[in-house]
Structure 1
Amino acid sequence: MFNNKLSVEQLRAKVGEDLGTSRWFPVSQERIDQFADLTEDPQWIHIDPERAAKETPFGGTIAHGFLSLSLLSAMAMDVVPGVQGTVMGINYGFDKIRFLNPVRSGSQVRGHFKLAQVEPRGDNQLLIRYAISVEIDGVDKPAIACEWLSLVVLG
């Protein structure tokens, strides 16, 4: 995680730049079922392939939007640089989350990250904003577009 560590000045110089694209993450029916169990969200459009094939326009089950969103943590580990002197990073939240396209069971997704903003917060904190698009393999329209906020505490 975060093998490439940048100074605060180097990070600020990257505002507006693409940071990169993560590897592909499979979204199997097993993963969807496990997520449904963990989150206690067993809606049939996610866990009943036969019914979803018959009664939805998707041709089968789709991932929970929050499952696709939760994969951002792993995606970020692939591309987001660390900051020198970081004591801890805290998920600060999201702005403008949009679930634009369903992720069908059996597909793959990956994240494209852009550094949108680095804002100092006091003497030892940075609020970092990433603009992210989650791509579905072989599909033109992205699954998710969002802005993710991370608070970095420096030592």
Structure 2
Amino acid sequence: MSTTAHGLDELISLDGRDLGRTDWLEITQERVNTFADATGDHQWIHTDPEKAKQGPFGGPIAHGYLTLSLIIPMFGELLCIEGVSMSVNYGLEKVRFPSPVPVGAKIRLHGVVDSVEEVKGNGVQMGLIFTVEVEGSGKPACVAQAVYRHYA
């Protein structure tokens, strides 16, 4: 279920809103390898399934930063913003990776609008709390406090 906001006033009205959860997304070894190629991070716990079976996680795991980067497309499932001229990812306040994402696991995003305030230049700044959940796990894979800016 996606929420649609039309313009800054509707964005402001989302303050405190639970945006719900996305559909599940499977983390494949191919996706992990592609991320490793893009970033140059080929650590064996991510890219060598045979060696990773003997490692601390019992198999390969996704990069933490891969999990973090997947917040962006998953966030698009939760909130559609229309009637603004520009939206920018303004940054992150805090990011934690409480548990790994095993290759083959499914993740989803839970999003909550933590704050919305007006900013100079006819815009609003939104603070969001994102939790990346792993199917069947009691601990999240990633918890991030993100900041976005939207301009009329």
Q: Same fold (TM over 0.5)?
A: yes
SS in 2 for 1:4: strand
Q: Structure 2: which 5+ runs fail to align?
A: none
Residue 103 (str. 1) matches residue 101 (str. 2): yes
Aligned equivalent of 2:12: 12
SS in 1 for 2:102: coil
Residue 79 (str. 1) matches residue 103 (str. 2): no
Q: Structure 1: which 5+ runs fail to align?
A: none
What is the CA-CA distance between 1:22 and the residue it aligns to?
A: 1.1
4+ runs deviating over 6 angstroms: none
- Check conservation: 1:18, 1:115, Cα contact below 8 A: yes
What is the CA-CA distance between 1:151 and the residue it aligns to?
A: 1.1
Aligned equivalent of 2:132: 134
SS in 2 for 1:150: strand
SS in 1 for 2:85: strand
Letter in 1 for 2:110: H
Percent identity, aligned pairs only, is 38
Distance 2:3 2:111 in 1: 16
Alignment of 1:3-152 (within 5 A): 4-54=4-54, 56-82=55-81, 84-152=82-150
- Check conservation: 2:22, 2:78, Cα contact below 8 A: yes
RMSD: 1.5
Letter in 2 for 1:49: P
Q: Give CA-to-partner distance per residue, 1:34-75, whole Å, 9 cap, x none.
A: 100011111111001111111x22110000000000101111
Could you state the TM-score of these two structures normalised by the residue count of structure 2? 0.93
